[in-house]
Amino acid sequence: MKKSACIEMLFTEWPFEDRFRLTKESGFDYLEFWSWQDKDIQKIKELCRANDLKIASFSGDQDFSMIDANRKADYVAFVQESIETAKILSCENLVIHSNALGENGVVINHSPNIADANKISAILDVLKTLASAAEKSNVTLVLEALNTMVDHSGNFLVSTRQAAELIRSVNSCHIKILYDIYHMQIMEGNIINTLNQYIDTIGYIHIADVP
């Protein structure tokens, strides 16, 4: 098992660039961050090299929602650009979501006018479309369900079962679940049993304190 530090949440009293050194000094060999668009990718690559670190993951989507079939082309194009960025950083995992997320993880568009069945269909279509690109680039897209009770009101994908059904339907070793213990403890609890039940679909795990 590889352990990674999220430098968006840790060492926040320090400038972003200093967090690479602090990550290494804290005993980690991997780190992750959120959006790549607002960052100097070449500088990140240099900082990883200087501190003998690797990028475990970063966010592969942001501006568009997977649940909106009308924005499929935009969503797919964005993720494909993220895959190219991942290749530059030798990063093997990209985090994706059902909905576009804005500042502080706020869901940008709840899309209440779209039926749930159509949202599921749209997600499945996107995942199947992206599977081949992920496989060719040896990048795994990890789909994260979020909690709607504390942080991400209006997000569509909120359960492990939902996510697992999608992953099993796609049936690609490069499309997996990001199982976030913080979010799923809030939404459904029963962490150990859930992990055991769906471990074949899980490619990445996040751990954080639950309030």
May I ask the CATH architecture of the domain 60-206?
Answer: Alpha-Beta Barrel (3.20)
- Contact status, residue 61 vs residue 96, Cβ threshold 8 Å: yes
- The contacts of residue 117 (CB under 8 Å, 6+ apart) are none
Strands 4-6 and 175-180: unpaired
Per-residue pLDDT, averaged over 5-28, amounts to 98
SS3 93: strand
Per-residue pLDDT, averaged over 15-43, amounts to 97
What does pLDDT average to over the chain? 96
Angle in degrees, 0-180, between the axes of helices 191-198 and 160-170, rounded to the nearest 10: 10
Query: What percentage of the chain reaches a pLDDT higher than 90?
Result: 91
pLDDT in tens, 93-132: 999 999 999 887 888 988 989 999 999 999 999 999 999 9
Per-residue pLDDT, averaged over 30-59, amounts to 97
pLDDT in tens, 143-195: 999 999 999 999 999 999 999 999 999 999 999 999 999 999 999 999 999 99
Q: Quick one: tokens of 56?
A: 């475990």
Query: How far apart (Å, rounded) are the C-alpha atoms in residues 98 and 96?
Result: 7
Q: Taking the model in full, what pTM does it have?
A: 0.95
For residue 143, what are the β-bridge partners? 96, 177
Query: How far apart (Å, rounded) are the C-alpha atoms in residues 163 and 178?
Result: 9
Rg (CA), the chain: 17
